[in-house]
Chain A
Amino acid sequence: MYMAAPPKPKEGTLERIKERGYLLWGADAEGGAPYAFPDPGDPSKIIGFEVDLADAIAHELGVKAVQSQNAWDSLIPALERGDFDFAMNGIEVTEGRKNHVLFSEPYYIYTEQLVVQKDNTDIKSIVDLKGRRVGTLSGTVAQDILMGMGGVNVKIYSGQVEPYQDLALSRLDAVLLDLPIAAYYAKPNPKLKYAGPPVGEGLYAIAVRKNDTELKKKLDGILAKLYSTGELKKIYEKWGLWNKKQEKLASFFEDSGATTLEEGRRAPVKNFFPMLLKGAGVTVLISVSSMALAIGLGLLLTLMRLYAGPPFEWLATSYIEVYRGTPLLIQLFILYYGLPNVGISLNPVMAAFLGLGMNYAAYEAELYRAGINAVPNGQMEAALTLGMTRGLAVRRVILPQAVKIALPGITNDFIALFKDSSLVSVIAMVELTKTYSMLAASTLRFFQLGLITALLYFGMSYPLSLLARRLEKRLKKDQR
């Protein structure tokens, strides 16, 4: 399930898991295989070795495990703000991260694998990388290694599929990434091969909030038990990730996760429809509700700006300028990840609704203002001489005319908001675009699923375009 959790207070996580009856663990299903990713056979289900591990841990706790979808880059801040109980998603233990979170004992020892094109003979190991274009994931240990070497032309990606694609297309000379990723995405690709043995060595561990020592101890105990009973080995073997105490890496090269990738490539496309439709539903919901907010708040801002006098006028003007002058993406980040720093924690739906609505309100306000200014001055004067108050005149005489003028613009903005709504995937909302990128990343069917997704967007926005055009025509007729 791609569930987004409401924020939680910061102490007694272990108790709360038990009370609640399920544990919430944060991971990015778009991050992909074999960690946690949508099942190609039934994309509404998340599978992966970490899913199995989470289930095993939950079983030990006597509860169920529920995955909380969150972009990989922001798993740590989301954990800190209390979105889920712990994060487990190939998170490497680093000194930097230790400043922010508490790590359990490691559940996996990973290495970095260098991958090159099949016919490449120049690059045999990472010492040959000087001056080459090498792709890796942002925020990973592989990135640190490459940066640390100096002289390597490092290309940073945010998804794990794209570097291998670019490598196959000769846009890169090599890719350095964690072995589980290479095993899933590069190994089955006939155009690519491993170059040299794995390098480096690091630990994946479960990240909990700094004050959750109790939870950490419990998790350590459970992991130890899973080791000793051989259950952990079973999970890794299932995913082809087992290697003798994970030091003997030879067994790593055995065929493994590739099966799942092949399955995903061959699964009938109708399997993906329910997921995509659900994503489209979320997109519609978010767009419609935040447009309603934008229309209402925009009107308030316009009235403040035009009629309410100095302090309000100034406030409204500043609001409009600030919101129009800064990127929506930044506004969303501040709302979702920034506000918790001052004690306000919004759930993703609320943050998406407010973020889009408050941003578009600034644009709607400008449209209304243009509409109001287009109403001749004589209209207000006529209303006033009839004894109307300014308020009544605005409501009954000015606004009805202004709205008519602004309506085509408002409809156009709605179409734009529809497409902008894909931005909210950065704050853990799984809407249509996010659903697409998750499914595409685990099946590599970027083209086919992309077309379907684009069609869904088009099917939703085209009727709006038609409506906008009709309104514009009618307005022209009225003005004659």
Chain B
Amino acid sequence: MITVHGLYKSYGAHPLFQGISIQVEKGEAVVLIGPSGSGKSTMLRCINGLETFERGEVIVDGIELHSINSKRPSKQEAERIRNVRLKLGMVFQQFNLFPHMTVLQNIIEAPVRVLGMSREQSVADAREILRQINLEGKINSYPGQLSGGEQQRVAIARALAMRPEAMLFDEPTSSLDPEMAGEVLSVIRKLVDGGMTTIIATHEMGFAHEAADRVVVFDKGNIIETGPPTEIFTDPKVPRTREFLNRVLGRFRI
């Protein structure tokens, strides 16, 4: 479903990825963990064309993105990137809801304007999604009137309204307090259980343990270890993984 192959990426003179590869099958839930600055966000951003990269390729559902060098891609390239994005939903740490639109407008904006869906249809969709995440009552609220957890759930709803093939989450709960984080994680959990292909960068090890089909450990722009959560969390093979887990699990008990 999603393949990253031999990706090279540097920020200015600082190389981050040097030929990194990753493969995610349809229906798989992959969790990316690793120390801060190890490249998890950058990986997600490369997958849906928010970052340029120098070498390698990203293939999403058969659409290939080759090294994107220019901040101003050609029309053709831009269209290919857009097609990749149409297959992927993305959720950010900072929610990034449109503050000048209500919850409903946030959700139906892209289906109506990008997919050309009818208003009636997209409103009905939005209501259904909001019902599933218990936010029907907030349909006419503005983002500024919602709690962080509610905003993040709306952001997920907004991405889902585009009926993506896969979802990318970049630390979806890092700016939430534990209670709100729980609400959001349970929504993601439902998605994963429903068979949605997902890649999640997170520091929530408990969640990774329970929900992931596979855990990928990043360190300084390299994938140092990958495997099922039971294996990674109970019997990591790589010393760096063990160090990292000891550090974070000291704080977050499974």
Where the two chains meet, the residues of A that have a C-beta atom closer than 8 Å to any C-beta of B are 309, 376, 378-379, 381-390, 392, 396-397, 400-401, 404, 478, 480
Contact for B88 among A383, A385, A401, CB less than 8 A: A385
Per-residue CB contact flags for chain B residues 81-114 toward chain A (1 = under 8 Å, else 0) read 0100110111010101111100000000110011
Tally of contact residues, B, Cβ under 8 A:
28
- In the assembled complex, the Cα of A309 lies from the Cα of B49 at a distance in Å of 19
Q: Check B72 against A387 for contact (C-beta < 8 Å).
A: no
When C-beta atoms are compared, the residue in chain A nearest to B86 turns out to be: A387
Q: Check A386 against B110 for contact (C-beta < 8 Å).
A: yes
Residues of chain A within 8 A (CB-CB) of B159 are 385-386
- In the assembled complex, the Cα of A151 lies from the Cα of B114 at a distance in Å of 79
Residues of chain B within 8 A (CB-CB) of A401 are 98-100
A-B contact count (CB 8 A): 62
Q: Check A386 against B92 for contact (C-beta < 8 Å).
A: no
Residues of chain A within 8 A (CB-CB) of B99 are 401, 478
Contact for A387 among B96, B110, B155, CB less than 8 A: B110
Q: Beyond A384-B50, A386-B109, A478-B99, list 20 extra A-B contacts (CB 8 Å).
A: A376-B96, A378-B92, A382-B92, A383-B98, A385-B89, A386-B110, A386-B114, A386-B162, A387-B114, A387-B115, A388-B113, A389-B82, A390-B78, A396-B109, A396-B113, A397-B98, A401-B98, A401-B99, A404-B100, A480-B144
- 9 CB-based A-B contacts, threshold 8 Å: A381-B92, A382-B90, A382-B97, A383-B110, A384-B49, A386-B109, A387-B162, A388-B113, A478-B99
Residues of chain B within 8 A (CB-CB) of A390 are 78
- In the assembled complex, the Cα of A396 lies from the Cα of B111 at a distance in Å of 13
Closest Cβ of chain A: how far from B83's Cβ, in Å?
8
Closest Cβ of chain B: how far from A316's Cβ, in Å?
16
Closest Cβ of chain A: how far from B5's Cβ, in Å?
22
- In the assembled complex, the Cα of A376 lies from the Cα of B99 at a distance in Å of 11
- In the assembled complex, the Cα of A389 lies from the Cα of B113 at a distance in Å of 10
B 149-178 contacts with A by CB, 8 A: 155, 158-159, 162
- In the assembled complex, the Cα of A384 lies from the Cα of B94 at a distance in Å of 15
- In the assembled complex, the Cα of A139 lies from the Cα of B78 at a distance in Å of 63
- In the assembled complex, the Cα of A359 lies from the Cα of B88 at a distance in Å of 45
Residues of chain A within 8 A (CB-CB) of B89 are 385
When C-beta atoms are compared, the residue in chain A nearest to B92 turns out to be: A378
B48 within 8 A of A: yes
Residues of chain A within 8 A (CB-CB) of B88 are 385
When C-beta atoms are compared, the residue in chain B nearest to A308 turns out to be: B72
- In the assembled complex, the Cα of A151 lies from the Cα of B96 at a distance in Å of 74
